Amino acid sequence: MIPLSALLIRDVRLALRVGGGALMGVLFFMTVVAIVPFAVGPDLALLHRIGPAILWVGALLASLLTLDRLFAADHEDGSLDLLLMARTPLELAIVVKALAHWLTTALPLVGAVPVLALFLDLESRAAAAVALTLLVGTPALTCIGLIGSALAVALHRGGLLLPVLVLPLTVPVLIFGVSASNAAIGGPVPFGAPFTILIALSLASLVIGPFAAAAALRHGAE
Amino acid sequence: MRLSAFEIGCVRGNRYIFQKLSFAVGAGQCLLVHGPNGAGKSTLLRVIAGLLPISSGRLNLEGGDTDQTLGEQAHYFGHQDALKSSLSVRENLSFWALYFGGVAEAVEKALESVGLAPLSNLPAAHLSAGQRRRLSLARLLVSERPIWLLDEPTAALDTAAQDRLTELMRAHLGRGGIIVAATHGPIGLSDAQAIRLGAR
């Protein structure tokens, strides 16, 4: 357990220090959500209706932005070689890195939702629904992103590869996240069905993501 | 303990970097790998570390821990220093000490022995190339692993630090360790065996 907690502390520290990803994700999220009302125009009814969708799209793009560096930074400075040679299984190390990433970049997004809901004329019930669906849906985004991030390192291609690979895979999460939020606000479908599917997506990607990412990284080292 | 290679070869990008390479190093012995740039010295070290697959031949460690792979019993000291600029000198080293299953107390001793103790609270971003290299070297000391794989260990080190490195290597060999070092110049160990890789 000591090696894993040391890795968690290191990654959290790196994200919170100058140049880390924690602030970048939440600032990007705020920027995206804040400019939408300007583009849509002063139609409160429309904003009210598409508010949860805008928050979800903003959160999705913000988590993609920071996932890019998850393994690339360790690959560039040689840390990844040493992680591969350690006695701690790579899969566990990846789970811990994902946890650190989620704590420092996804959790602030959930925290920012109540503030940003004001921009979109969402009442407190709707804001709470979006915050709750993001809380259970963002682990899926992080774990799916792990695969893309590891493949980008393995194939020596950064930048554009990650969104192209990852975005299609995150579409189900987006669909059920937004429909669960809308259901909670008073949509036609009951809240339980899309919400449990969202939880299932998170749990499934939590299992698949680390193994797929570890396989990609091991292959990439060769 | 004995590390032996029998006619190993490594293919990268459809051609052999090296092939039919054989050597054996016993406990307390050092193997120097010489050769011009591009001869495959770094590749050989990465193969022993388990970071690259061998394409032919056999690579064995006799008398090691059978539960662990060869790479898990080796320290790899490569060109990249695996340091995070925004963490302090001590934080960088403590992380690797804990991650490699060492103890926190070893960190201060290791910093002392590479001469970085006075700088331990400084962010690694402020270190010079030689100091980064020394901090990276300190990682070999915070957790015990029998095999050291050193890729041009003297690069960027001043003469005092090179002498210190030689002492550390002697101490490691004295404890029954194995060292495989890729190097261009002499390294100060008189009784080391050497192999030479040819240019491609």
Q: Which residues of B touch A78 (CB under 8 A)?
A: 78-82
Residue bearing tokens 């995070």: B84
- Rounded to whole angstroms, the Cα distance separating A172 from A166 reads 12
pLDDT tens by residue, A13-59:
999 887 777 888 899 999 999 998 899 888 888 888 889 999 999 99
B137 min Cα distance to partner chain A (Å) = 13
Q: Which residues of A touch B101 (CB under 8 A)?
A: 2-3, 87
Quick one: pLDDT at residue A180? 92
pLDDT of B150 strictly over 80: yes
Quick one: pLDDT at residue A144? 93
Q: Which amino acid is at A63?
A: S
pLDDT of A146 strictly over 60: yes
Q: What DSSP character marks residue B180? A: E
- A23, A71, A82: which to substitute to probe chain B, counting the most B Cβ within 10 Å? A82
- Retrieve residue A69's tokens: 């560096």
Half-sphere exposure for A118 (CA within 13 Å, toward CB): 4
pLDDT band at B199; cut points 50, 70, 90: low
Residue A113 in 3-state DSSP?
helix
Quick one: pLDDT at residue A109? 93
Q: What is the mean pLDDT of residues A177-196?
A: 87
Angle in degrees, 0-180, between the axes of helices A107-119 and A22-40, rounded to the nearest 10: 20
Mean pLDDT is lowest, of A32-36, A59-63, B19-23, for: B19-23
Is residue A121 within 8 A of residue A44, CB to CB? The reply is yes
Q: What is the mean pLDDT of residues B41-53?
A: 89
Q: Which residues of B touch A20 (CB under 8 A)?
A: 86
- Retrieve residue A137's tokens: 């849906």
pLDDT of A174 strictly over 90: yes
pLDDT of A204 strictly over 90: yes
pLDDT band at A90; cut points 50, 70, 90: very high
| Nearest-by-CA chain A residue for B80 | A78
Q: What is the mean pLDDT of residues B143-152?
A: 89
In this complex, do A13 and B87 lie within 8 Å of one another by their Cβ atoms?
A: yes
- A10, A11, A104, A218: which to substitute to probe chain B, counting the most B Cβ within 10 Å? A10
Residue of B51, B79, B85 lying closest to A221 (CB–CB): B51
Q: What is the mean pLDDT of residues A151-166?
A: 81
Q: Which of B59, B63, B56 is nearest to B27 (CA)?
A: B63
Residue ranges of alpha helices (H) inside chain B are 41-48, 89-99, 105-113, 129-142, 159-174
Query: CB pairs below 8 Å between A and B: how many?
Result: 78
Residue A128 burial (C-beta neighbours within 10 Å; 0-12, 13-18, 19+)? middle
Quick one: pLDDT at residue A10? 93
- Rounded to whole angstroms, the Cα distance separating B106 from B88 reads 17
What is the interface pTM, i.e. ipTM, of the complex?
Answer: 0.89
- B99, B107, B149: which to substitute to probe chain A, counting the most A Cβ within 10 Å? B99
Quick one: pLDDT at residue A198? 94
pLDDT tens by residue, B69-105:
888 889 999 888 889 989 999 999 999 999 988 787 8
Buried-exposed string B97-107: b where 16+ CB fall within 10 A, e elsewhere? bbbbebeeebb
In this complex, do A84 and B98 lie within 8 Å of one another by their Cβ atoms?
A: no
Q: Which of A42, A144, A43, A143 is nearest to A98 (CA)?
A: A143
Quick one: pLDDT at residue A92? 94
pLDDT of A140 strictly over 90: yes
